Chain A
C-alpha cells in the first residue's frame, strides 16, 4: 500500500482497499495501460495468475476485470481492478505485458463480450464462434436460449456423406 502512495500521492485516482485477504488496486481504465507495465517492470509482478471478469449488472461501468498478480521476489499477491462500460466494453489488452493474458482475455471476451484492443488473436475460447450470446452476463438464462447452438441432424445419411 505504501508504494502506491509513494508513487502517486493519496489524491490520485487510483484507490486501494483490502478485500478478505488480498490488496486490491482500483485503476481507472485509461490509466490501466500505463499502470500494468509499471507494476511488472518496477515492482516485479512478473507472474500473472488469472484475469477475472465480473458482471456487476449496474448502469455504467458494468463489467469489472480483475488482474491477479504475484510478485515472485517478495511473495506478494496483488489484485488490480478496472471497469469496462456496457455500451463500449473495450479495454487495452495485457497480452503484450504477460503472454498468458491472451487466453484469459479470450475467456472474458467469450463470457462477457468485453473486447480487448491490440489482442493478437481475439476469438472465443470455449463456445463456437457461431454462438451469438455472452453466457455469463446476468441476463442470460441458465438453460440457454433454445436453438442458439445446433445439434447434429439425426439422419445418418446426411452426416456420413459430408
Chain B
C-alpha cells in the first residue's frame, strides 16, 4: 500500500528535516500551493512514497510533485539505512572491515568482498596467486547472476506477475547452495581474504557449479520466452524511463543504466582487474535507454557471466589460494594449528593486520552487478585505513532516478525504480 500523505499530514518526527525536504521541491518552476484557486479539482498534489513501500526495494523515500498523473518534480530522501560504514572502517583493520562490505550491496556480497580486497592489495602491493584470482572471478560472476535474478523477479513482480519471482528465487537458491559449499555461508559469504580467498573450491562445490552452468542457460531461455514477446511486459516497459546517452553520462549513471543508454562502459574492460583481460566476453549495450533496454542488458549480462564461468572452469589452474607471505596474508589453517610461527602470524594478522605504506592513496573499482563499485583508501601507515570511501553504484544510479522520474507517469514510478535496481544498503552506506 502506498503511504499517501499530503503536507498537512506530514510526519511529526524530525520536523526540520521534513520542512527542508518539502521545501526542496520548491524552486523557480514549482511552488507548493495546496489551496490553489485555479485548480478546484486539486490535481496538483505532493505524493509521499515510502520509506516503507514494497516497490522501493528497501527503504527509499520519494517525494513526488504531481500534476494530475504526471510527475513534475521528484526528490529522493536517502539515509534510512545510514549507519556510517565509512566511520566504522576507520576503526577496524582492513580484514575486519571486509564482512561489512557484504552488508553494503547485499544482493551480491561476493563482488563487494573482492572489490575491497583488490583495493587493499593494490594499496599494499600484495601479489595474489592465480588460482585465487580465478576463484574470485567464479564467485563474482555467480554473484552477478544472483543479483540480476533478484532484480528480474522483483521487476517482473512490479509489472504485475507474482509467480515469476518464485521461479527466479528457485534459481537463486541454487547459487546459495553453491556459496554454502564454497564459503560456508549461503548469503553473506565473506569469502575473499586480503591476499587470496579463505578456502579452496571443494569437489562438491565444483560439481554444483558445473551443474549450474549446464542447467542455467536453459532456465534463462525459459525466462526469455516468457517475457520477450509478452505484450503486457513489453508495453509497460518500452519508452518508459528513457535516459539518453548524454544525460546518462552527465548524471554519472553507471552499470546497466549507462550501458542501456548506449555507452559501453564496463570496468572489466576499461580497467581490467583479476583475469578479465584474458576472458572472451561481450559488453551488452542498447541504444534506447528505456526500461526494456535495461532489461535486455541485464539478461544478456547473465549470458555473458555464464560464458565467463565456463572459461574460468576450463582454465582454473592448480596452486595455492593465498599469498605465501605471513606479513601480507593469513597463513593456512594447517600452519596455524601445527606450528608456532603460523599461530603467531595468524595472531598478528588479526591484531594489527596488513599495514600499507604511509600516505598511500588508492582508488580501485570493480564492475559489480549494479555498476562501478570503487574503494578509495588513504593509508596512514597503521593497520586501520585513515579514510575509506565507498563509491556506491546505487547512490549514483539513484541520482539518475531523481532526474528520470520527471515527466514520467505516476503509474510508471514503480517500474522505473525497479529497472534502476537500487540497493539501499549500499546507497545509504
Direct contact of A and B (CB under 8 A): yes
**Chain A contacts to B: CB under 8 angstroms:** 19-22, 24, 46-50, 52-55, 66, 68, 72, 75, 77, 79, 98-100, 102-103, 107, 111, 120-121, 123-130, 135-136, 140, 142, 150, 152, 162
Q: Which residues of A have CB within 8 Å of B97?
A: none
Q: Which residues of A have CB within 8 Å of B249?
A: 46-47, 72
Interface centre among A48, A121, A126 (most CB of B within 10 A): A126
Compute how far the CA of A136 lies from the CA of B84 in the bound complex, rounded to whole angstroms: 8
Question: Is A126 a contact partner of B428 (Cβ separation < 8 A)?
Answer: yes
Compute how far the CA of A72 lies from the CA of B258 in the bound complex, rounded to whole angstroms: 13
Q: Is the interface of A mostly helix, strand, loop or mixed?
A: loop
Compute how far the CA of A72 lies from the CA of B86 in the bound complex, rounded to whole angstroms: 29
Compute how far the CA of A46 lies from the CA of B247 in the bound complex, rounded to whole angstroms: 11
Question: Is A150 a contact partner of B13 (Cβ separation < 8 A)?
Answer: yes
Q: Nearest Cβ distance between residue A116 and chain B, in whole angstroms?
A: 15
Question: Is B362 a contact partner of A68 (Cβ separation < 8 A)?
Answer: no
Interface residues of B in 74-88 (CB under 8 A from A): 78-79, 82, 84, 86-88
Q: Which of B16-24, B62-70, B200-208, B215-223 contacts A (4 or more CB under 8 A)?
A: B16-24
Q: Which residues of A have CB within 8 Å of B428?
A: 126
20 A-B contacts, Cβ less than 8 Å apart?
A19-B360, A20-B122, A20-B360, A21-B122, A21-B364, A49-B365, A49-B391, A50-B363, A52-B389, A53-B389, A54-B387, A66-B376, A98-B250, A100-B399, A103-B396, A111-B86, A129-B17, A130-B15, A135-B87, A162-B12
Q: Nearest Cβ distance between residue B52 and chain A, in whole angstroms?
A: 14
**Chain B contacts to A: CB under 8 angstroms:** 12-17, 19-21, 24, 27, 78-79, 82, 84, 86-88, 91, 122-123, 249-252, 263, 265, 270-271, 360-365, 372, 374, 376, 378, 386-387, 389, 391, 395-396, 398-399, 403, 428-429
Compute how far the CA of A141 lies from the CA of B387 in the bound complex, rounded to whole angstroms: 15
Q: Which residues of A have CB within 8 Å of B429?
A: 126
Question: Is A127 a contact partner of B82 (Cβ separation < 8 A)?
Answer: yes
Question: Is A50 a contact partner of B123 (Cβ separation < 8 A)?
Answer: no
Q: Which residues of B have CB within 8 Å of A24?
A: 361
Question: Is A19 a contact partner of B361 (Cβ separation < 8 A)?
Answer: yes
Given the known A-B contacts A54-B387, A98-B252, A126-B78, are A49 and B91 also in contact in the complex, defined by CB atoms under 8 Å? no
Residue from B16, B19, B79 in contact with A125 in the complex, judged by beta carbons closer than 8 Å: B79
Given the known A-B contacts A21-B122, A102-B399, A126-B82, are A48 and B252 also in contact in the complex, defined by CB atoms under 8 Å? yes
Nearest to B247 among chain A residues (CB) is A99
Q: Which residues of A have CB within 8 Å of B13?
A: 150, 152
Compute how far the CA of A143 lies from the CA of B265 in the bound complex, rounded to whole angstroms: 39
Q: Which residues of B have CB within 8 Å of A150?
A: 13-14
Given the known A-B contacts A68-B376, A75-B270, A135-B87, are A128 and B16 also in contact in the complex, defined by CB atoms under 8 Å? yes
Compute how far the CA of A138 lies from the CA of B363 in the bound complex, rounded to whole angstroms: 21
Compute how far the CA of A150 lies from the CA of B18 in the bound complex, rounded to whole angstroms: 14
Q: Nearest Cβ distance between residue B241 and chain A, in whole angstroms?
A: 17
